[in-house]
Chains A and B, each alone.
Chain A
Amino acid sequence: MYTFGIDIGSTSSKAAIIRTGTELIRETVIPLGTGTIGPAQVRKAIFEEVDLQPESICYTIATGYGRLKCDYANEQISELSCHAKGIHFLMPTVHTVIDIGGQDAKALSIDDNGALVNFQMNDKCAAGTGRFLDVMAKVLNVDITDLGPLSLKSQHPAAISNTCTVFAESEVISQLSNDVSLEDIAAGIHYSVAKRVSGMALRIGRKADVAMSGGVALNVGVVCAMEKEMGCPILVHPLCQSAGAIGAAVLAWEKYIKEHQ
C-alpha cells in the first residue's frame, strides 16, 4: 500500500511516494512553488515516473507553505514535523536538523522515532537564509551555484560583521573596492550565515548526529562553515530537499495505520 506526501513550498514543490511506510518508491522536485503550476506538475510527474495511479494511494498528507490549498490531501501537517520525520527516514541516527531555505531557517530537535521535540525558526530576517546568499552572489557577480566552491578556496576569510543584509551588502562592496579576493569575501559571507544559523540552532541544543537540509544544504561552503561553527560534523543527504515530502508520506502511513487499527 502506498502513501503520498507533497511539500508545497514558496519556491518549489516536492512530492514523495512511500510503500508501507518503509520503502521510498520515488521523490520528485519541481522548482515552482505555491500559487504556480508547480504543485499540480509535481503530482502529475511523480505518478507518471512510477507508473502508478493516484487511486492506489491510501493516504495523502500535504505540508509546506501552500499546504492549506491542497484540496485532495487527507490532512495537512506543518513542514517542521514532516521534515523531522523525513530526515529521520533518510538518516535514522540524526537528532538535530538545520534547515536553511530560501527565505527562512529552522532548527529541529528530533527523538529516536523522528518525532519533533523542539524547534527554533528564523522567518523574519533575510540574514542567515538563502536570500542573503542570493543578494551577495549578485554583488560578487558569481553564480549562486559557484559561491560555495569558491569560498572553499579561501585562506583568509574576510569578516562580514553585519547581520543586516543591507549593511552587509555595503560591507561586501567595500571589501571588493579594497581588492579583497572573491574567495575571501565568499568565505566571509558563508561564515556570516553559519554564525547566524548556528546561534539559532544552539538554542535548542546540539545532539548528534547533526544534519543539514533545505536548498542551502547543497552549498558546500555553508556546510563547511556550519561544521566549524557548530563544532561537529554535519551530514547532508542527497535527497534532503525532499525531506518534507518524504516525511509527509511516512506520517501518512502512520496516520493510515492508526485509523484502520
Chain B
Amino acid sequence: MADIMQAIALLQNACANPKAQMNQYIAAGKSVVGCFPPYTPEELVYASGMIPMGLWGGQSELKLAKSYLPAFACPIMQSNMEFTLNGVYQKLSAVIIPTLCDTLRCMTQNWRFGVKEIPMIPLVYPQNRKSPASVDYLISEYEHVLVMLTTITGNMMTEKALSAAIDVYNEHNAVMREFSSIANQHLDVITPKIRHAVFKSAFFYDKKEHAAIVRELTEGLKQMPEFAFQGKKVVLTGILCEPDGVLDVFEENGVAVVADDLAQENRQIRTDTPTHGGGALKRLALQWNARHGCSMIHEDGKPRGPMLVKMCKDNHADGVVNCLMKFCDPEEYDQPYFEADLRQAGLLCLTVEIDTQNTSYEQIRTRVQTFCEMI
C-alpha cells in the first residue's frame, strides 16, 4: 500500500508542479517542447530526443491574454496565453499547436506574434480521413514539424528512434488502459481526484517513466482485495474535468469515475499506432485515421452517443457527466445528440460547465448532488 501511495504522490506532485518537472528534464540536458491540446505528434518530439509536455491551461487571473483573446475564447486558450505572456513557459524550446478548432487556429497567429521567444510550430491535421490522400498530406505535415524542430533545437530524428518512440507510446497506452480497468476494483483508493492525476501527470513525464510508475501503481492495486464500491458510478465526457475542486465535489457525493471520454485523459490513450503498414511516419499518420469519437475530429453519423452508452454499460455506470468546457463549440455541437442517445438508453446525463478560472464550486455542487438524488 505504501508503494501505491508513493506512486500516487509522485504523480500528484507532477500535476501540482509541472514547472519542477520541466526544470528537472532541462537540468538533465533535455529540451522540452510544449504541446497544445488536444492532439500533437508527441512521438516526433520524443524520437528527436526531447520531452513533450502538455499545455492544458490552468487557473489564472486573466490580464495580458485580454489583448489577444475576447471574453468568449475558452479558458484553456485564455490561460495558456496568459501563462506564456507572463513567462511561465519561457524555458520551452518550441510549441506545437494543432489547428483543430477555430480558436486554436487563431492561437497559432497570436503565439506567433505575441510570443516571439518561443517558436511556434503549427500543425494542420487532415479532417477528410476518408480520402487516402490525407495520409500523405499528414506525413508531410509531420515532416514540416520535424524540420522546424530540427531548425529550432538542432535535434534530429531517425527512423529507428521514431519506431522505438511509437512502441513507448503504445506501451504507455496499454499501461494506462490497464490502470483504468483495475482502478474500478479499487475505487476506495482511486478517487476521482487521484484518477485524474494519474492521467494528467502523463503530460509532464517522459512517457516511459510515467508508464513505469503507473505500472507499479496498478500492480500494487492488484495485490489488494477488490473493493465493493457502493456509491454512484459515472462516465465523464468532454475536454477535461478540472480543477480539483470539481473532482472533490464528486467525491463528496460518493461519486466515482469508472471511465472517461475526456480529451485530456482517455482520448489520449485509446488509439494505438499500428505496428505494421509502413515506415514509422506513415504508421503515425495512420493512427490519426483510427481515432474515433472526438468532437474535434470529423466523423459521420454522430457516433459519440452510442460510444458513451456502451462505455456506461461496459463499466456499470449510472450515468454520464458532460464536462462542458466553457465556449467549446465543437463539444457544443455534439451535446444535444449524445444527450438524446443517453436519454433513450435510459441513462442520466448531467452537464456541468467547466471553467478553470472559477474558484467557487457551489453551482457544480448543487448539480452533482441533484444528479445523485435522481439516479
Contact B373 A123 (CB under 8 A): no
Pick the contact of B373 from A65, A77, A124 — CB < 8 Å? Answer: A77
Pick the contact of A123 from B363, B369, B370, B374 — CB < 8 Å? Answer: B363
* Distance (whole angstroms) from the CB of A212 to the closest CB of chain B: 19
Taken together as a complex, chains A and B put the C-alpha atoms of A117 and B374 apart, in Å, by 7
A80 with B370: in contact, given A121-B363, A123-B363 (CB under 8 Å)? Answer: yes
Taken together as a complex, chains A and B put the C-alpha atoms of A93 and B373 apart, in Å, by 22
**Cβ of A116 < 8 Å from any Cβ of B?**
yes
Contact B363 A116 (CB under 8 A): no
**Cβ of B362 < 8 Å from any Cβ of A?**
yes
**Cβ of B367 < 8 Å from any Cβ of A?**
yes
**Cβ of B140 < 8 Å from any Cβ of A?**
no
User: Using a Cβ–Cβ cut-off of 8 Å, how many residues does chain B contribute to the interface with A?
Assistant: 9
Query: Could you give, for residues 9-20 of chain B, a 1 whenever the CB lies within 8 Å of some chain A CB and a 0 otherwise?
Result: 000000000000
A77 with B369: in contact, given A116-B374, A117-B374 (CB under 8 Å)? Answer: yes
Contact A81 B367 (CB under 8 A): no
Within 8 A of A (CB), among B331-375: 353, 362-363, 366-367, 369-370, 373-374
* Distance (whole angstroms) from the CB of B243 to the closest CB of chain A: 17
* Distance (whole angstroms) from the CB of A106 to the closest CB of chain B: 9
Contact B370 A116 (CB under 8 A): yes
Taken together as a complex, chains A and B put the C-alpha atoms of A117 and B366 apart, in Å, by 15
Taken together as a complex, chains A and B put the C-alpha atoms of A172 and B359 apart, in Å, by 33
User: Using a Cβ–Cβ cut-off of 8 Å, how many residues does chain A contribute to the interface with B?
Assistant: 13
Query: Could you give, for residues 115-151 of chain A, a 1 whenever the CB lies within 8 Å of some chain B CB and a 0 otherwise?
Result: 1110101011000000000000000000000000000
Pick the contact of A121 from B367, B369, B373, B374 — CB < 8 Å? Answer: B367
- The chain A residue sitting closest to B343, CB to CB, is A118
**Cβ of A169 < 8 Å from any Cβ of B?**
no
A78 with B353: in contact, given A121-B367, A123-B363 (CB under 8 Å)? Answer: no
Which of chain B's residues have a CB closer than 8 A to the CB of A78?
Answer: 366, 369-370, 373
Taken together as a complex, chains A and B put the C-alpha atoms of A119 and B363 apart, in Å, by 13
Which of chain A's residues have a CB closer than 8 A to the CB of B367?
Answer: 121
Contact A124 B353 (CB under 8 A): yes
- The chain B residue sitting closest to A80, CB to CB, is B370
Contact B370 A119 (CB under 8 A): yes
Which of chain B's residues have a CB closer than 8 A to the CB of A124?
Answer: 353, 363
Taken together as a complex, chains A and B put the C-alpha atoms of A79 and B374 apart, in Å, by 13
Contact A65 B362 (CB under 8 A): yes
Within 8 A of A (CB), among B47-105: none
Query: Could you give, for residues 119-161 of chain B, a 1 whenever the CB lies within 8 Å of some chain A CB and a 0 otherwise?
Result: 0000000000000000000000000000000000000000000
Beyond A115-B374, A116-B374, A121-B367, 7 additional contacts (C-beta under 8 Å) are: A78-B366, A78-B373, A81-B373, A117-B374, A119-B370, A121-B363, A121-B366
Q: Which residues of A contact B (CB under 8 A)?
A: 65, 77-81, 115-117, 119, 121, 123-124
Kindly list the 10 A-B residue pairs having the minimum CB-CB distance in the complex, ordered from nearest: A78-B370, A80-B370, A78-B369, A81-B373, A123-B363, A78-B366, A116-B374, A81-B370, A78-B373, A77-B373
Write 15 A-B pairs (CB below 8 A) sorted by A numbering: A65-B362, A78-B369, A78-B373, A79-B366, A80-B373, A81-B373, A81-B374, A115-B374, A116-B370, A116-B373, A116-B374, A119-B370, A121-B367, A124-B353, A124-B363
